[in-house]
Amino acid sequence: MVSDREPFRFGGRPLHERLSENLPALTELVLAAVTSRIPAYGLLPSEELAGDINRVIAQTLRSFVAMVRTKSLPSAEELAFLRESAARRAEEGIPIDIVLTAYHIGVQVVWESLTPEVRPEEVHDVMAVNSLALRYLELITPAVGAGYLDQRQTLFDDERSARHTLLTALLDGTPADAAASRTGFRLPPCYLVLALSVGSHADETEPGVDQLVAGRRKLRRLRAELERQIRGPVLSSLTPAGGIALLPHPTSVNEVGERDWDRLRRIVADVARAAGAEITVGVAEAAPEEVAAAAKLADEVRAVAAASGKPGGVYRLDDVLLEYQLSRPSAARDRLAAMLRPLDGNEELVQTLETYLRRGSRRPTATDLHVHPNTVDYRLRRIAELTGLDPTNVTDIALISAALAARAPRH
């Protein structure tokens, strides 16, 4: 509260009177400035500009006039009005920085309309009003920001809940159209159904670093890059170790071609770089009503690719046909899996074997496992002693790969 009881004077008249008289013209000036200097506002429907936006500007100006008249900052009721207005802008998707800029532009327009008529003896009043205007912006900025962010969080929570509901329904085999109508989403012609295995980021194994925090940061980067690359809502259930993701695709299943698969490979490579971790993806295309079966197949393809020692990347059934078939129940599969039974319970040797087959030589294997190359040599010799199969022998590698694929369903 400013102690001086005399009204502020600009141009020889009380400032609040001048502002009140010019309120309609000032409202038009502010609206014109906002729409011309902020393109996002200029794209709003003319009905909204003439209605809600014009009403908010007029009410904000009235609040400013009342502040100048009483020399008191806006009341809680006036701030609540601004919060509600910001919430509506959040619903329209106008960015928060643009919303806040509009209020600063409004104060600038008012100030520029008044200062040319200031008399020398009114400089003290000019300084006092300027200080009050800065305090006004200081007060309304967090109020507008809070109203905006509260609404954005509500919208985010609602959309996340709707996505989860739709994902669950599709994976459960619930009729797709019914599930979509309940959540408000429009189903695409088909989904690319991804089953992901996500490796560790370097920070997750760094001594003294909180693994949970590092894993969540990795997951946040992964999700952000995936959302950035894909048009339409991505439905996903992911942890730092992997999970499932449904990517909407604009064509029918029969029209998904090699160019689409190449693009998906590039997307997954970009996502892996953003996450800072190797990602292995099993993928299958499916119409919405076939997502449940496609998710099962994609996960089986992912598991077979990983168990076969394949490097990170995108794998379809066609990419692992032999390994996939070897993983299916049969007498031959059981015999193949039994060849690696001596390694049961020794995951260190199994991991070394898988990594060695994937990397092809001892030094890259040692780097991936964070051990000395001599340790890799020792483990490979130990595997040969236990199984009778030498991972460094070209003639044994195909059999070992087949045995790993056959062993995968049990492990």
The set of long-range contacts for 19-26, using a CB threshold of 8 Å and a minimum separation of 24, is 19/61, 19/64, 19/65, 19/68, 19/110, 19/114, 20/65, 22/113, 23/58, 23/61, 23/62, 23/65, 26/61, 26/109, 26/110, 26/113
404 has a pLDDT exceeding 90: no
Q: Tokens 């502010």, residue? A: 30
Contact of 287 with 252, CB cutoff 8 Å:
yes
Cβ 13 vs Cβ 119: under 8 Å: no
Work out the pLDDT band at 164, boundaries 50, 70, 90.
confident
Helix (H) or strand (E) holding 221: helix 211-229
Strand pairing category for 190-198 and 235-239: unpaired
The answer to whether residues 201 and 212 touch, using CB atoms and an 8 Å cutoff, is no
Q: What is the pLDDT of residues 184-229, one digit of tens each?
A: 788 999 999 999 999 988 888 788 878 888 899 999 999 999 999 9
Global confidence as pTM: 0.59
What does the pLDDT average to over 82-108? 89
* Cα–Cα separations (whole angstroms), residue 88 to 54, 85, 149: 14, 5, 11
In the chain, what are the domains? 9-155 (1.10.490), 189-325 (3.30.70.270), 327-411 (1.10.10.2840)
**Gyration radius (Cα) of the chain, Å:** 32
- At 410 the pLDDT is 58
Q: What is the pLDDT of residue 3?
A: 47
Taking a C-beta distance cutoff of 8 angstroms, is the pair 33, 105 a contact? yes
pLDDT tens track for 230-274: 988 999 999 999 999 999 999 999 999 999 999 999 999 999 999
Question: Which of 43-47, 64-68, 125-129, 363-367 comes out lowest in average pLDDT?
Answer: 43-47
Decide: 234 and 247 in contact? Cβ < 8 Å.
Answer: yes
How much is the average pLDDT of 120-125? 89
- Helix crossing, 291-307 with 123-172: angle to 10°? 90
Question: What average pLDDT does this structure show over 109-125?
Answer: 88
Q: Which of helix, strand or coil describes residue 64?
A: helix
Question: Which percentage of the chain shows pLDDT scores above 70?
Answer: 98
pLDDT tens digit sequence for 271-303: 999 999 999 999 999 999 999 999 999 999 999
